[in-house]
């Protein structure tokens, strides 16, 4: 492999934000709503649409701790 190719591989980590949550992370434990679920539901807009998630999955309608902690996850989905 040439040096330029290896250099490009090394720079890939700079293009992928480290603060993005992994798809298997559960956001709503009451209804088992994962990051992957949120991405598949809101992916076209690349914006977390909480009302849409509430109606589709029940997000936030259980203990509501996922909604109380939005500052820890909402900006780290996309």
Residue ranges covered by each domain of the chain:
21-76
- This prediction's pTM: 0.75
Report the alpha-carbon distance of residue 9 to residue 7 in Å, rounded. Answer: 5
pLDDT tens-digit map of 17-33:
667 899 999 999 999 99
Q: Check whether 7 has a pLDDT greater than 80.
A: no
Nearby residues of 37 by Cβ (< 8 Å), 6 or more positions away: 53, 57
Domain with residues 21-76, CATH architecture: Orthogonal Bundle (1.10)
pLDDT at residue 54, rounded to an integer:
96
- 3 state SS of 30: coil
Q: What is the pLDDT of residue 17?
A: 60
Helix (H) or strand (E) holding 34: strand 33-34
Mean pLDDT of the 30-56 span? 94
More reliable by pLDDT, 14 or 68: 68
């Amino acid at each position: 492999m040439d040096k330029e190719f290896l250099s490009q591989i090394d720079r890939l980590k700079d293009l992928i934000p480290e603060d993005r949550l992994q798809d298997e992370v559960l956001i709503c434990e009451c209804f088992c709503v994962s990051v992957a679920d949120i991405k598949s539901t809101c992916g076209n807009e690349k914006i977390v649409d909480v009302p849409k998630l509430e109606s589709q999955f029940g997000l936030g309608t259980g203990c509501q701790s996922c909604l109380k902690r939005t500052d820890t996850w909402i900006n780290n989905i996309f």
